[in-house]
Amino acid sequence: MRGRYLFQITRKVGRAELILDAKKLGDDYLLTLTGGKEHAGAVAVGSFDEKSQRASSSVISLPGHREEQIALQGARHVSKATRQTTVFIVGIHLDDITPEEIRNTVSVSGEMVKSFIAFYERKNNTTEQEE
């Protein structure tokens, strides 16, 4: 595992290797999901509202990039699970990507986010049981 990352998972999807990294920023989380030619294609911010007990997210996508749904949904899901602010940067690029590769990449990306949430929940349960 590189640097100060809290969590890292790698999955092979067709021609691409997807890498999800997560780290803490104070009480908040920064996640990056990259694959193929790394870049920042979309950036989403998720937040959790204590009063309504709901999570929401907003996204900025660079022109010509299609990662916005992965970033938007990932940020919202992580914020809902952690009850914290989440910044999620996604950049996946494959030349001549096929519709099947897109579907598989979106599916595996969602599974990777779920893996981080499961890791967070296990870590959180262990911490609570120790107290």
Q: What is the block-wise mean pLDDT of the chain (131 residues), using blocks of 10 residues? A: 75 96 96 96 98 98 95 98 98 95 97 98 72 45
Going by their DSSP bridges, the two strands 86-93 and 28-36 should be labelled as parallel
DSSP state of 40: -
pLDDT of residue 130: 47
Assess if CATH 3.30.390.30 describes domain 7-123.
no
pLDDT of residue 131: 45
Q: Which of 117, 37, 124, 38 is nearest to 75 (CA)?
A: 117
pLDDT of residue 5: 79
pLDDT of residue 127: 53
Domain boundaries, the chain: 7-123
pLDDT of residue 54: 97
* Entry pTM: 0.90
